[in-house]
């Protein structure tokens, strides 16, 4: 790592806010300011620049010169998971709050999550609701999530909606004990970590939208059927089922065994038509988001050619998606 961390005052913060930045200059100032304007002030703010080639570092340094709570790490590009792990390892707060460099915290976000944590000692993770904003900052929707552990865990293992990564607030000692984010998870690092945290304590979420999540054209998206998010989110589920049944988590295996697991998993997804099913769901999602005649024709064609997809969608919505549990059992039988 090519970087540094400035000296920190002797006062130990209660919360560490962590942010990873890669060429995020467009909205970085707004994101940083939303943290500095929090009603809860006893925090440190670790920002990791992940090899930006724009002026992100200059922006961060400008704020750092004005507020001693900001600590900058500059390193070569290694991805989100590795960057966040750098921050987690040196975080001094009892709790860690996440924020992406294009999202915004509402002013009372840290205060409300911290107060909730103090009244619920078994909690290891606290998410929140969020509003969705566009590139101009206009609100386009408001979303909330279940508040209790059982329903949040059910949503995770049944591949339903769960709190946004930028809303995450988790115990620093617990996240270090499970190894932080896993760099092998190229996508869905948050889902994978929440599942591992759920084995250590309770999950919770606040209904109130305490962050503004920005959707814009520069973001990487799996809408349209790409396999990245689908593959890694399902791998996280399968790893979870294996762990809670006492089997070795193949994501933690040596390189050769991990590669064998990934190849086997890819074969299972192809064999059971899960990539095609995901592409069908993506068509449905994009149609519901912004209906058009062209999207309707694509969705209708897919539904006509694969009527079982509609049946699977209804079944999964009612009873939950059991397919990853079945694949986990199949893998365990080979071990």
Say what the pLDDT of residue 27 is: 93
Locate 44 and state its tokens.
């440190």
Residue 228 is predicted with a pLDDT of: 81
Distance CA 247, CA 97 (A): 31
The 10s digit of each residue's pLDDT in 238-290 is 999 999 999 999 999 999 999 999 999 999 988 887 766 666 556 555 655 66
More confident residue, 312 or 9: 312
Report how far residue 193's alpha carbon sits from residue 162's, in angstroms, rounded to the nearest whole number: 12
Superfamily of domain 15-214: Spore Coat Polysaccharide Biosynthesis Protein SpsA; Chain A (3.90.550.10)
| Spatial distance between the Cα atoms of 317 and 305, rounded to a whole number of angstroms | 21
Tell me the average pLDDT of the chain.
Answer: 86
* In the chain, domain spans: 15-214, 228-333
| Contact by Cβ (8 Å): 210, 106 | yes
CA distance 143 to 256: 41
Please determine, for residue 224, whether its predicted confidence score (pLDDT) is greater than 80.
no
Q: With a cut of 70, say whether residue 10 has pLDDT above it.
A: no
Residue 269 is predicted with a pLDDT of 87
pLDDT digit string, tens, across residues 175-200: 999 999 999 998 889 999 999 999 99
pLDDT at residue 219 is higher than 80: no
Q: What is the mean pLDDT of residues 300-305?
A: 62
Look at residue 8 in the predicted model and tell me its pLDDT.
42
How many Å apart are CA 61 and CA 212, to the nearest integer? 24
Q: Residue 159: how many CA atoms within 13 Å on its side-chain side?
A: 22
Cα 111-117-119 angle, rounded to 5 deg:
105
CA nearest to 173, candidates 200, 205, 134, 139: 200
Of the two residues 289 and 36, the one the predictor is more confident about is 36
pTM: 0.84
pLDDT digit string (tens) for 134-171? 878 788 889 999 999 999 999 998 878 899 999 999 99
């Amino acid at each position: 790592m090519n970087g540094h961390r400035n000296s920190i005052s002797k006062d130990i913060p209660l919360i560490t806010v962590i942010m990873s930045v890669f060429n995020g200059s467009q909205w970085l100032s707004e994101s940083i300011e939303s943290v500095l304007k929090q009603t809860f002030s006893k925090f440190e703010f670790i920002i990791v620049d992940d090899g930006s080639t724009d002026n992100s570092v200059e922006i961060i340094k400008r704020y750092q010169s004005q507020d001693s709570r900001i600590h900058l790490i500059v390193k070569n590009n290694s991805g989100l998971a590795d960057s966040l792990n750098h921050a987690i390892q040196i975080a001094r707060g009892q709790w860690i709050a996440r924020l992406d460099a294009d999202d915004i915290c509402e002013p009372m976000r840290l205060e409300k999550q911290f107060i909730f944590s103090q009244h619920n000692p078994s909690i290891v993770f606290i998410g929140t609701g969020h509003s969705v904003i566009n590139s101009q900052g206009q609100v386009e929707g408001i979303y909330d999530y279940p508040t209790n552990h059982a329903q949040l865990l059910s949503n995770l293992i049944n591949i339903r909606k769960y709190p946004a990564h930028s809303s995450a607030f988790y115990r620093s000692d617990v996240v270090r004990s499970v190894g932080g984010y896993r760099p092998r998870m190229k996508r869905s690092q948050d889902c994978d970590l929440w599942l591992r945290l759920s084995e250590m304590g309770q999950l919770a979420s606040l209904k109130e939208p305490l962050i503004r999540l920005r959707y814009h054209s520069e973001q990487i998206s799996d809408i349209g059927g790409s396999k990245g998010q689908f593959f890694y989110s399902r791998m996280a589920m399968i790893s979870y089922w294996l762990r809670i049944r006492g089997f070795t988590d193949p994501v933690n295996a040596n390189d050769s065994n991990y590669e064998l697991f990934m190849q086997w998993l890819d074969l299972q997804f192809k064999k059971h038509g899960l990539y095609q099913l995901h592409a069908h769901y993506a068509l449905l999602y994009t149609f519901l988001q912004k209906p058009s005649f062209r999207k309707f024709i694509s969705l209708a064609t897919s539904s006509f050619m694969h009527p079982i997809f509609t049946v699977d969608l209804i079944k999964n919505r009612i009873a939950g998606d059991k397919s990853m549990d079945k694949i986990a059992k199949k893998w365990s039988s080979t071990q």
